Amino acid sequence: MKKSAVFLLTLLSVLAFSQKKWSLQECVNYAIENNLQVIQNSYNTQLQENSLRIAKRDYLPSVSGNINNTASFGQDRDTSGRITDSKDNFSNTANVGADILLFNHGRLEKNIRKTEFEVEASRQDLERIKDDISLQIAQQYLSVLLNREISKISISTLENADKLYQRAKITTEVGTTPQTILAEAEAALAREKQNVKTAEINTNRSLFALAMLLQLPEYKNFDIQEVPLENMLDAPLYSAENIIGKAYENQPQIKAAESRIKSAEAQTEITQTAFWPTISANAGIGTSYFSLFNAGTDINGNKIKQSGFFKQYKDNFGQQIGLLANIPIFNKGITKIQVEQSKINEDLARNALLQQKQQVLQNVQQAQFDAESNYESYLAAVESAKSSQLALDFAEKSFAAGRSTVYDLNSARNNYANAQGSVAQAKYNYLFSMKLLNFYAGIPLSL
């Protein structure tokens, strides 16, 4: 009964997955939660957070205890080197000690601050990976929609080719048109069937690529939602000059580079603390026990009595407290060199920030250039499609009146189908470049 219930639930889950059509936001959310690269970097962030927890605990005192048991056997020598009687014995010591740092010129606080910057940089690295994956998914999602639109154009062209073929078949059978008309119509129909199949394969290929980006365990039943898009698109709203300031504020790679500069500066301060003395305090308690296995007798011949374990522990109990100062005097100039190295690392971190800003600037400028260029391409493709449609209308009327051949009609239809495909291609290229431009402006991805 339980096996049947589990099987039923599994089957329902598979059916639900196969019937589900994913939105862009669902794809992005799934990738962010399940992508292995995201998961790996989230582990790196957790490691940095644990390092911060360790750094904060350095303020606490260290407490340790030890118990030592020693048994000695065999003969011994006195101070004159003479062999004495065997003094087989057992000894036990126990102590607990604690030490705490009192002064190190703020090294602990600086280390905590440095680690906090490293944690923030790691978090921003994670956000950058999420953004990169989100953009890849958005681009592939639009690729699926583009191929589906091209499939619809191919199917429409196939339907027209089929109508022409059916008409040519009838007119050829009654002798109105020659056999060559039917042959050309049949060839055109075969070409359009091939185009439909190619478009279908391209759609499935783009769906497969999206499923691979999502790292889905099952891709054959994967599908996405249809997204209605406006036929006429607006011109770009933003320019690189308007966006770059927001991009510098919002892009995680910039924030990560800024945090690493602060971390490098904190590391320099940490290194400089080596010039200062370190003062620590310690305290401890301890006791001991000693027993001879063969105690022997005293000078009067009486057996030597040994105190018991608990009595010795009580009698030997003691405490100690100390103050330790470690004052650096000369370490071959190594600390000075280490400070110089830390300052070089600061310069490297600042240069890395400049590189990241330069990269973001180029990305924004490239997105703006692509958006403007793709928009112009889209407008040109729309005009070309209008002209091709007008030419097709004339060709159909001319063919119906018997003033043009089937070759002319097929040529006009192919030109119109190609023009429609160019419009679709330009439209989705423009949409992605606009999404990228909006992304740098701080607008979330959406369709």
How does pLDDT run across 399-446, given as a tens digit for each residue? 877 777 778 888 888 899 899 999 999 999 998 988 888 888 888 877
342 and 268 in contact (C-beta within 8 Å)?
yes
Tokens for 32, please give them: 């962010």
102-118, pLDDT tens digit by residue?
A: 999 999 999 999 999 99
Supply the pLDDT for residue 299: 65
65 and 94 in contact (C-beta within 8 Å)?
yes
CA atoms of 284 and 353, how far apart (whole Å)? 50
CA atoms of 32 and 19, how far apart (whole Å)? 22
Most confident of 88-92, 222-226, 356-360, 428-432: 356-360
CA atoms of 306 and 329, how far apart (whole Å)? 50
249-262, pLDDT tens digit by residue?
A: 899 999 999 999 99
Indicate whether 273 pLDDT > 70: yes
Rounded to two decimals, what is the model's pTM? Answer: 0.82
Q: How many CB atoms lie within 10 A of CB 114?
A: 22
> In 3-state terms, what secondary structure has residue 95?
strand
Supply the pLDDT for residue 139: 92
Indicate whether 1 pLDDT > 50: no
Task: Give residue 205's pLDDT band: very low, low, confident or very high (50, 70, 90).
Answer: very high
CA atoms of 384 and 387, how far apart (whole Å)? 5
Q: Residues with Cβ < 8 Å from 407, sequence gap 6 or more?
A: 184
Indicate whether 280 pLDDT > 60: yes
Please state the φ and ψ torsions of residue 76, each to the nearest 5 degrees: -135, 170
Supply the pLDDT for residue 82: 66
Supply the pLDDT for residue 63: 95
Supply the pLDDT for residue 44: 94
Find the mean pLDDT for residues 59-77.
87
Indicate whether 8 pLDDT > 60: no
Supply the pLDDT for residue 177: 77
Mean pLDDT, the chain, as a whole number? 87
Tokens for 57, please give them: 């605990």
CA atoms of 325 and 327, how far apart (whole Å)? 6
Which residue is listed with tokens 């049949």?
Answer: 186
Supply the pLDDT for residue 79: 59
Residue with the bigger pLDDT between 148 and 234: it is 148
CA atoms of 159 and 335, how far apart (whole Å)? 82
Find the mean pLDDT for residues 163-180.
84
CA atoms of 185 and 179, how far apart (whole Å)? 10
CA atoms of 406 and 396, how far apart (whole Å)? 9
75-96, pLDDT tens digit by residue?
A: 766 556 666 666 788 899 999 9
363: nearest Cα among 210, 248, 255 = 248
Task: Give residue 384's pLDDT band: very low, low, confident or very high (50, 70, 90).
Answer: very high
Tokens for 324, please give them: 């330790």
Find the mean pLDDT for residues 350-364.
95
Distances (CA, A) of 384 to 59, 77, 234, 408, 409: 73, 112, 18, 18, 18
Supply the pLDDT for residue 228: 78
Terminal CA-CA length for the chain = 45
CA atoms of 399 and 4, how far apart (whole Å)? 65
Residue with the bigger pLDDT between 93 and 308: it is 93
Distances (CA, A) of 29 to 13, 62, 312, 395, 446: 19, 45, 69, 50, 12
Tokens for 295, please give them: 């105690």
Indicate whether 13 pLDDT > 80: no
Distances (CA, A) of 241 to 234, 237, 244, 444: 19, 12, 6, 20
Q: How many CB atoms lie within 10 A of CB 163?
A: 12
Q: Residues with Cβ < 8 Å from 399, sequence gap 6 or more?
A: 405, 406, 408, 409
